[in-house]
């Protein structure tokens, strides 16, 4: 399935030109929505989630959805509810005592509701994908064609397609949304760094497991959060210092230094959507900083950007908050 996923993503071009085109188009729509707020405070969640889901739907499903399409609302709802039931401590009783599902367990009821909503959303996407299957070269399109091909070495079930595609969409939404939320908090808390980033964007955009033998079959879990906040690897790990990735001459540090950050994992199990996510985040951040200065509403203080203060969840992200997007002249 992983090979088919990569095949589907590569159908958009080795240079990711089509993914860039799709992403930039939706980012621009999101920026227009920010501009329409006329410098007034607003909650950005719906606009950002819609942007991410429309990008994911087009690349993963090969379909273009309007903002008000049921898929957008249903998938956003799935992420909110699944985040509640799968956050740290929630649902653990079902792992220990599965029979509790027969006695009205609230987390089990929520899981079943999430599953039903997910299945409806995916069915809608698959239906539209199949209507254009001959010209559809998306991830789901590749899955369906492989499922129908008698020469495919391994049988691909409908559930295989649903779960693999759902994982790509779910992971792509929650991680990108969490990263953008953190970006907003940091920009509001560090206007001096925001100004430096804007200067950089203006200049660029406008002009053009150590020593230990792990036995075969062992499942290894890495504490990436701890690794990324290890003062031996990252001095002052709790401070926002984007300049830590630049050398004394202002160039990116060596690949060896950059490889200390493994947000997407490493090795054979590295995230298949890494380049897709990097493209999405880069275009959003660059376009945002080119067009706006992000500030907190007057008389209010933004939540702490320290991830230790975030509520637990599948992905750490802050509680909802308002921003002001001040248009740059």
Residue 12 predicted with pLDDT over 80:
no
Write the pLDDT tens digit of every residue in 176-234: 999 999 999 999 999 999 999 999 888 876 654 566 777 777 777 788 889 899 999 99
* Amino acid 208: pLDDT: 46
CB 30 within 8 A of CB 325: no
Whether residue 271 is annotated as binding a ligand: the answer is yes
CATH homologous superfamily for 2-206+262-327? Cytochrome P450 (1.10.630.10)
Distance CA 289, CA 328 (A): 9
Tokens coding 175: 């991680």
- DSSP-derived secondary structure letter, 252: B
What digits encode the pLDDT tens for the residues 254-268?
988 888 888 888 777
Q: Is the pLDDT of residue 15 over 70?
A: no
pLDDT over 50 (residue 133): yes
| Residue 41 or residue 137, greater confidence | 41
Can you tell me the distance from the alpha carbon of 27 to that of 48, in angstroms, rounded to the nearest whole number? 9
The DSSP-derived string for 131-190 is: HTTTT--SHHHHHHHHHH-TT-SS---HHHHHHHHHHHHHHHHHHHHHHHHHHHHHHHH-
Cβ contact 140:63 at 8 Å: no
Instruction: Provide mean pLDDT across the span 108-137.
Output: 86
The pTM for the full model equals: 0.74
The pLDDT assigned to 6 comes to: 67
pLDDT, tens digit (0-9, with 9 covering 90-100), for 73-96: 888 888 888 877 777 667 778 888
Confidence of residue 284 (pLDDT cuts 50, 70, 90): very high
Token pair belonging to 240: 């926002």
CA distances from 239 to 243, 246, 253, 305, 316 (A): 11, 16, 18, 10, 17
Examine the pLDDT at 1 and tell me if it is beyond 80.
no
Q: What are phi and psi of 292, to 5 degrees?
A: -135, 160
| Whether residue 9 has pLDDT greater than 80 | no
């Amino acid at each position: 399935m992983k090979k088919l996923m990569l095949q589907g993503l590569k159908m958009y071009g080795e240079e990711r030109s089509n993914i860039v085109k799709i992403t930039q188009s939706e980012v621009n729509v999101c920026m227009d929505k920010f501009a329409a707020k006329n410098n007034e405070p607003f909650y950005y969640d719906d606009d950002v989630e819609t942007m991410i889901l429309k990008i994911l739907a087009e690349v993963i499903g090969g379909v273009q959805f309007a903002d008000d399409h049921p898929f957008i609302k249903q998938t956003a709802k799935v992420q909110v509810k699944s985040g509640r039931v799968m956050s740290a401590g929630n649902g653990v009783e079902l792992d220990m005592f599965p029979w509790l599902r027969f006695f009205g367990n609230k987390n089990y009821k929520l899981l079943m509701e999430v599953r039903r909503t997910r299945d409806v959303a995916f069915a809608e996407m698959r239906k539209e994908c199949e209507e254009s299957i001959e010209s559809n070269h998306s991830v789901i399109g590749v899955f369906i064609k492989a499922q129908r091909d008698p020469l495919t070495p391994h049988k691909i079930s409908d559930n295989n397609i649903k779960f693999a595609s759902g994982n790509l969409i779910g992971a792509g939404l929650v991680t990108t949304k969490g990263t953008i939320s953190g970006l907003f908090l940091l920009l509001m808390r560090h206007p001096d760094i925001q100004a430096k980033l804007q200067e950089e964007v203006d200049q660029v955009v406008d002009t053009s497991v150590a020593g230990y033998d792990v036995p075969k079959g062992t499942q290894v879990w890495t504490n990436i959060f701890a690794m990324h906040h290890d003062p031996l690897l990252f001095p002052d790990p709790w401070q926002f210092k984007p300049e830590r990735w630049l050398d004394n001459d202002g160039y990116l540090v060596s690949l060896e230094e950059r490889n200390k950050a493994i947000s997407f994992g490493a090795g054979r199990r590295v995230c298949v959507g890494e380049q897709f996510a990097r493209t999405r985040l880069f275009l959003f951040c660059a376009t945002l900083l080119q067009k706006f200065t992000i500030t907190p509403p007057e008389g209010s203080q933004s939540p702490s950007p320290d991830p230790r203060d975030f509520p637990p969840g599948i992905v750490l992200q802050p509680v909802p908050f308002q921003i002001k997007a001040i248009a740059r002249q």
